[in-house]
Amino acid sequence: MIIEDPLLLWTVVGSASGAILGIAGTGGGVIAIPLLMAFGGYDIKEASAYALLALTVGAALSWFIQRRNTLYPISAILIIFAGSVAFISAPLKVIAPHWLINLLLNLTCLFSLYSLWVLRKPEDPGEIRPLVYRIKTATVGGMITGFLSTMTGLGGGVVIIPWLTGITRLRFDQAMACSLLTIAVTAPVSAWRQEKFDLVLNGWIGLIVGISVAALIVRKLSGYISPPQLTLIRKLTLTGVLFISMMRTLSSLL
């Protein structure tokens, strides 16, 4: 079923993205892509580009809530290199075949699942490494983020958080905040370069209100769940969303 009304379409996309964002802290782009393909009638290139708009709003809202954990020198490096690579990579996506975008997206989803259940350890205290080391590793992480956000619409947070915790050795909360700020700033660059920053006013209203309301409601309800149970629910929810995205995008190849 194709939803032609932009207000309704982007309210649905925003509400789903906000709900996933509220419970899992990430994943807005992951759910936006299959929804845009199913209800917006977009192909994988268009859906992954428009999903960057959901990432922009969701990441900005999430970062504002967690901003106290941000390491601004590291975020600045991430933004500079992610933004530069995003700017350069956009023309590559235009000429890339649909199957390649599909492959990159699904490989990123698989790595996200591996990261979610094996690599991601919120209790890891991190380490205070020399600033030069952190800058060097953040530079590489930023380039990875810029490339993936442009090519897949997933934002790169699924890769940059394990990178920042495992390689740069930031605490999990610091890595999350730095990643969210980076995505909030660089995702619009990717969307603009792909000429997908063209929503009508009703679309923007639906997206912003949908994400904000759904995320705040889910975060409020999450306060009634014990931390161990909430961690498991977050993992299972994001796992389910990743599988939905993979099944929907892979089915487009058939």
Q: What confidence score (pLDDT) does residue 24 get? A: 75
Structure tokens at 188: 């619009």
Domain of residue 56, residue span: 6-251
Angle between helices 131-152 and 172-193 (to 10 degrees): 40
66 three-state secondary structure: helix
Q: pLDDT at residue 246 above 70? A: yes
Work out the angle at residue 157's Cα, subtended by the Cα atoms of residues 151 and 161, and round it to the nearest 5 degrees: 140
Domain assignment present for residue 22? The answer is yes
| Residue of 142, 212, 176 whose CA lies nearest to 67 | 176
Q: 197-233: buried (b, 16+ CB within 10 Å) or exposed (e) per residue?
A: bebeeebbbbbbbbbbbbbeebbeeeeeeeeeeeeee
Give the pLDDT confidence score for residue 27 in this predicted structure. 67
Residue 147 domain flag? yes
Q: Mean of the pLDDT values across residues 125-134? A: 88
Under the banding of pLDDT at 50, 70 and 90, the label for residue 140 is very high
pLDDT band at 15 (very low <50, low <70, confident <90, very high): very high
Place of tokens 């990261």: 115
**Cβ proximity of 40 and 199 under 8 Å:** no
pLDDT in tens, 145-200: 899 888 998 866 677 888 888 889 898 889 888 988 999 999 999 999 998 888 99
Determine, yes or no, domain membership for 153.
Answer: yes
User: pLDDT class for 120, splitting at 50, 70, 90?
Assistant: low
Please, are residues 121 and 111 in contact by the beta-carbon 8 Å criterion?
no
| This prediction's pTM | 0.88
Any domain includes 55: yes
Give, in order, the Cα–Cα distances in Å from 37 to each of 62, 148, 233, 245: 25, 19, 26, 10
Per-residue model confidence as pLDDT tens digits over 94-119:
899 999 999 999 998 898 888 878 87
Helices (H) and strands (E) in the chain, counts: 10, 0
> Shortest CA distance to 90 belongs to which of 36, 48, 31, 42?
48
| Number of domains composing the chain | 1
Determine, yes or no, domain membership for 70: yes
Residue 48 lies in a domain: yes
Each residue of 17-46: pLDDT tens digit? 989 888 877 767 889 999 999 999 999 999
- Looking at residue 197, the DSSP 8-state letter turns out to be -
Tell me which of 125 and 211 has the higher pLDDT. 211
d(CA 222, CA 107): 30
Q: Give the CA diameter of the chain.
A: 54
What does the pLDDT read at residue 139? 95
Is residue 240 predicted with pLDDT exceeding 80?
yes
In a domain, 1, yes or no: no
User: What is the structure's pLDDT at 124?
Assistant: 74
**Is 193 a member of any domain?**
yes
